[in-house]
Structure formats: structure tokens, C-alpha cells
Amino acid sequence: MKKILLFTALLLGVTFFANAQKVVFLDTEYILKNIPAYKEAQEQLNKLSAEWEKEITTKYDELEKLYNQYQVDKLLLSNEMKARRENEIVSKEKEVKTLQQKRFGTDGDLFKKEQELIKPIQDEVYNAIKDVSVAESYGLVFDAASSATTLLYTDSKLDISDNILKKLGYIK
């Protein structure tokens, strides 16, 4: 009976270790920083964002000038002229806010451009992570760059970021 129990325990132990999965981590920020296309995409997005911010700032400056001029002229205007100028100011303000939402809103131009430029690179990285993980039999892969995952200790031997860059062809 003791032999059967010992044999069963040994068999379970071997099965457990044979099926044990490797746990590794990587740093997606590090990976993306080492991909030239990602850097170029980020630069392009930053340039577009700066242009659009300048455009909106210019429109807000024009609106402010229009409002300040109205404040100066207010005493000399008839009620009809006041109403017309106030409507013009309100209309311009709505216009600027609409433009701001169009450029920087949750589904705005910047978001769409980011999806166009960044998402294909992220998909490529994800597929490389999946390929390396399957090939190396990794059971779990954590992203150390993500704020959602907190790691108190990481052994640098488990960092597979360079493997992903090799798979993508950015490191030899």
C-alpha cells in the first residue's frame, strides 16, 4: 500500500513539474521605443497635435479679441446690434469648441490617426509576443511597463523584451 501511495505521489509530482508553465515578463515601452516606425509615428502624431493645438489657440485668441472689442463697443451699440454681436460671439465659441472636439475628442482626428499609425505596430508586437510565447512554452507573460500590473520583484533573466525585438527584426 505504501508503494502505491509513493508511486502515485511521485507520478503526480512528475506530472505537475512537466506541466509547469514558465512565467516571464516584458516591457512594451522598451520594445516600442526600439522600433523606428513607432518613433516616427509618435513624432508624426506629436506634430499633428501641435498644429491642431495652434489652430485652436488661434481661434480662441480671435474669439477673445472679438469679445474684448464687444466690451469696448457695448455702450455705443443699440440693443439690436448688441444682440447680433453676442450671437456672433456665441456662434464663434461653439465653432471653436466643435473644432476642438473634432480634433481631440474621444473619437476625434487625433484618435483616428493614432489608430492608423500605432495600432498596426502594436498588433505586430502582440503577434510576436504570441509567437515567442508559444515557441518557448511561456504560460504567462506580464507587461512590466503596464501600471495595472505591479511586480514587486522581477528577475532580469525572465525579461523577454529583446526576444520580441529579435522576432520583429530590430535586434540581431
**Cα(1)–Cα(82) distance, rounded to whole angstroms?**
102
**Cα(85)–Cα(168) distance, rounded to whole angstroms?**
59
Share of the chain above pLDDT 70, in %: 83
Section 50-65 average pLDDT: 97
Window from 9-18, 68-77, 112-121, 158-167 with minimum mean pLDDT = 9-18
Q: Can you give the pLDDT at residue 149?
A: 61
What is the enclosing helix (H) or strand (E) of 96? helix 79-104
Q: What is the model's pTM?
A: 0.71
**Cα(16)–Cα(126) distance, rounded to whole angstroms?**
29
Q: Can you give the pLDDT at residue 1?
A: 52
User: Is the distance from CB of 106 to CB of 146 less than 8 angstroms?
Assistant: no
Q: What pLDDT, in 10s, does the model give residues 103-138?
A: 999 999 999 999 999 999 999 998 998 898 888 888
Window from 25-34, 47-56, 104-113 with minimum mean pLDDT = 25-34
| CA separation, residue 82 to residues 73, 74, 89, 91, 121 (Å) | 9, 7, 11, 14, 54
Q: Where are the domains of the chain?
A: 22-168
